[in-house]
Structure 1
Amino acid sequence: MEKIDNYLTLLKDEIRNNSFGHLPLKYRVRLMRYIDSPLIVNKIFYNCVVKIKSLKEEIFQDNEILLQILFEIRDYLYNNKGDKNHFMMIFDKYKNYLYEYDALGGLLLSLCFNIATDASLMLDIAEYNEEDDNEYDFEMWNPDFFAEIIFSEGLYFIPSNSGSVEKREAYWIGVLEIIEKICRNANFEVAPLYYQKGMDENFIIPSRNQFDDTIEAQFKDILFFIVDCEPQKLKEGLEYKILFVSSVVDMFSILSSKGDVIILNTKNVDRICNEFRNIREQMYKKNSKQGAWFQVEILLKNKDLYTLDFNYDNLEQIPSLFQEPDWLLKMFKEYPRSKEYTPFWLQKIVGSKVKYLKS
């Protein structure tokens, strides 16, 4: 511990003498290698995240996905719950979604990656020759550096957006104090993590009125086309389940009551998908605050006997391929709703990234 204490004292002088208030990566790598414990390194990174959470409390409270990830990280690091490989799954699942939150998203992604790989971005940098953070792509930045960016409100190496030297210096002095405390007490946390439930899971979505005679006529037209499609016309006497799902990409399928999958040529499928999207657009324009459906399921007995089931709100009903948070967020950006028509699970994903329509 004496070696670490002495080095921490030297680093405080380095920070104060740095014209940007920045602590270069070479010193942090050397310090973390002195510590030589992936668990302790990741606890240090976790506490950097918690420092930022206190600055961005509104964002965390508005987006429970961010909170949930942070709670899972804490449980793993401090309560030994779960498997480190789970955090690579989180990294892969939420990568595109979290980068919508810029440095804040990068902060969480970097910590997840470091947990999954035993702090490899700090302890096992390939062919490291004392380069600083600016010489790496942002995917290789560590949580402590992402936190510096947020805390100082800028990047030290971009003159037009360099942020505050004073804030950056204060941040790093605070981080060194955290490191000292964690090295003496591995269970130290800079601040407790509290969960505040902000939404009522039992609230009821109001009824919608986007469907009318004009929309029904459009559905009949496309169903007539589907029934007569070559090369595989639908047969009389059988029932068919027609499913169209659309977010970033589309999925269209027809399944007969015998279990047969009906295959149409690409040209016809493209026309059908375009028509379904056009219908959805017309329904949305009729009352935008009610949102747009993710999928429509049609049970078809014949051209004149069918039922329509629109899914606006049920995540479990949406095929797993379409449950990617970044896809769902993009869908909301294209078709924003009022909050009263936004289910609890979708509010978690939207957070504060998109404004709700007024009720």
Structure 2
Amino acid sequence: MMQQVEKLKEIVNQNSMGHLPLPCRIDLMKQIGNTRIVQKILCECCKKVYLLLPKELETESLLYTVLSEIDSYLYKNKGTAENILISVERLRNYVEQSIDSPEDMASWAIIALGYATRYDAASILAIEDYNGEDDNAFDFESWNVDFICSVAYSGSNPFVENGNVEKRKEYWLWYIKMTGEIAQNPNVEHLSLPVCKSTNPLIDIPARHQLDLLKTNKGISFDDIRDSILLQIPNEIKWDFIDVVFVSCISCMLNIHSSTGEKINIGNTIHNVCNDFRLKRKEMYIQYPKEGAWFSLKMVINKNNSYKLDFNYDNLDEIPVYFQVLDWILSFYCKFPRSKEYTPQWLRKIVGRRKLYLT
């Protein structure tokens, strides 16, 4: 192994791009011959670049949780590879929407690491129809974790622009040294992640003027939606009040129940009601866009035709779990951006460094 390490150092030092070619890395990983050790090496690459992120991004990032989960699985046998895959799949589309900086590449490396953890590091140990090509022969989605991290660390893809050759060389020389140490002591972490914060500081969201629009003579009424729903309630259903729950985030859901718990089907009228709810939301948003748009609402219709509305702008827990798809939520936010002061902490994490806040 020591002779191999010295040979690889020489290759990096002589490479005009400061790059360690993929065939060399594949040979090294196959020489190690242990899938779990290879996965740990790839995990250390992710930790190397992730620990360089600005502190305000590091532990607050959604990807940090996944990296911690993978790290615990590989070194402490906590959790399962299947659960890691679920976490990665949940974040993949969200991460893919914006990859234009070293921080974004670090996030993409964690996604790739998740797949390598679930699928036995096949991306480097079992490349299909491989004939000695370097990284530039593969599509972005097929890049290996170690190469993605080199792009994040140096700030550029060597096959597109030379960029910071010394920084890239520094990364690969570290990689070679780290690989040798992990191979010798596979149960000892090379780098340690900081303790992840268990709670987030609460953010006081200012009062919303949008809600004032619902007061008498303020211009927005849900009376028409109430009437549409009541017209569809069968006469045989006995009720004291009607519960209506509407959720809309790319896709939408409308549930209507009587006070006895009986589900009420309003037939094709459901499409009109959902559309009317969305139009009301848009109307409210246009008046005060900095306050954002609500994700869901609850409407309680009483026997005397009065009703009460409860809007959810900020509470993730009130959004059904099957709507908590991060790229859905991000797309919804892009459609209805808000100012930062009206953005709760969990939503700020999803927005990340994207310049989407209204000012």
Q: TM-score range by the shorter chain?
A: 0.7 to 0.9
Amino acid at match of 1:225: S
Counterpart in the other structure of 1:241: 243
User: After the TM superposition, which of the residue ranges 187-196 and 135-144 deviates more from structure 2?
Assistant: 187-196
Distance in 1 between the 2:326 and 2:166 partners? Answer: 37
- Tell me the SS of whatever aligns to 2:120: coil
Structure 2 counterparts to residues 125-274 of structure 1, below 5 A = 125-158=127-160, 161-195=161-195, 197=197, 200-211=200-211, 212=213, 213=215, 217-229=220-232, 237-238=238-239, 239-266=241-268, 268-274=269-275
Distance in 1 between the 2:235 and 2:336 partners? Answer: 33
Counterpart in the other structure of 1:43: 40
CA contact (8 A) 2:229 2:266 kept: no
Counterpart in the other structure of 1:111: 113
**What whole-Å deviation, never above 9, does each CA across 1:39-91 have from its counterpart, x for those lacking one?**
21112111111221133234633733222122222222222222222211112
Counterpart in the other structure of 2:76: 79
Counterpart in the other structure of 1:347: 348
CA contact (8 A) 1:91 1:109 kept: yes
- Tell me the SS of whatever aligns to 2:16: coil
Deviation at 1:203, TM superposition (A): 4.2
Counterpart in the other structure of 1:297: 298
Structure 2 counterparts to residues 80-95 of structure 1, below 5 A = 80-95=77-92
Distance in 2 between the 1:202 and 1:62 partners? Answer: 16
Counterpart in the other structure of 2:62: 65
Counterpart in the other structure of 1:288: 289
Distance 1:228 1:26, change over 3 A: same
**What whole-Å deviation, never above 9, does each CA across 1:213-250 have from its counterpart, x for those lacking one?**
36674311222233335xx6677852322221111222
Deviation at 1:184, TM superposition (A): 2.4
CA contact (8 A) 1:59 1:352 kept: no
User: After the TM superposition, which of the residue ranges 165-174 and 304-313 deviates more from structure 2?
Assistant: 165-174
Counterpart in the other structure of 1:9: 6
Distance 1:63 1:335, change over 3 A: farther
Amino acid at match of 2:118: A
User: After the TM superposition, which of the residue ranges 206-215 and 10-19 deviates more from structure 2?
Assistant: 206-215
User: After the TM superposition, which of the residue ranges 333-342 and 169-178 deviates more from structure 2?
Assistant: 333-342
Amino acid at match of 2:291: Q
Uncovered stretches (5+) of structure 2, i.e. residues with no partner = 100-104
Pairing 1:98–2:95 present: yes
Pairing 1:26–2:23 present: yes
- Tell me the SS of whatever aligns to 2:226: helix
CA contact (8 A) 2:17 2:158 kept: yes
Counterpart in the other structure of 2:339: 338
- Tell me the SS of whatever aligns to 1:316: helix
Deviation at 1:272, TM superposition (A): 2.2
Distance in 2 between the 1:341 and 1:234 partners? Answer: 43
Counterpart in the other structure of 2:102: none
CA contact (8 A) 2:50 2:106 kept: no
CA contact (8 A) 1:243 1:295 kept: yes
**What whole-Å deviation, never above 9, does each CA across 1:294-342 have from its counterpart, x for those lacking one?**
0011112357311111111222221111111222222222223334433
TM-score of the superposition, structure 2-length normalised? Answer: 0.87
Amino acid at match of 2:22: L
- Tell me the SS of whatever aligns to 1:263: coil
Over aligned residues, Cα RMSD in angstroms?
A: 2.6
Amino acid at match of 1:350: V
- Tell me the SS of whatever aligns to 1:128: coil
User: After the TM superposition, which of the residue ranges 306-315 and 283-292 deviates more from structure 2?
Assistant: 283-292
- Tell me the SS of whatever aligns to 1:163: coil
Amino acid at match of 2:33: D
Uncovered stretches (5+) of structure 1, i.e. residues with no partner = none
User: After the TM superposition, which of the residue ranges 163-172 and 233-242 deviates more from structure 2?
Assistant: 233-242
Pairing 1:310–2:311 present: yes
CA contact (8 A) 1:63 1:349 kept: no
CA contact (8 A) 2:220 2:280 kept: no
Amino acid at match of 2:242: Y
Equivalences, count: 350
Amino acid at match of 2:119: T
**What whole-Å deviation, never above 9, does each CA across 1:247-268 have from its counterpart, x for those lacking one?**
12222232233444333444x3
Counterpart in the other structure of 1:277: 278
TM-score of the superposition, structure 1-length normalised? Answer: 0.87
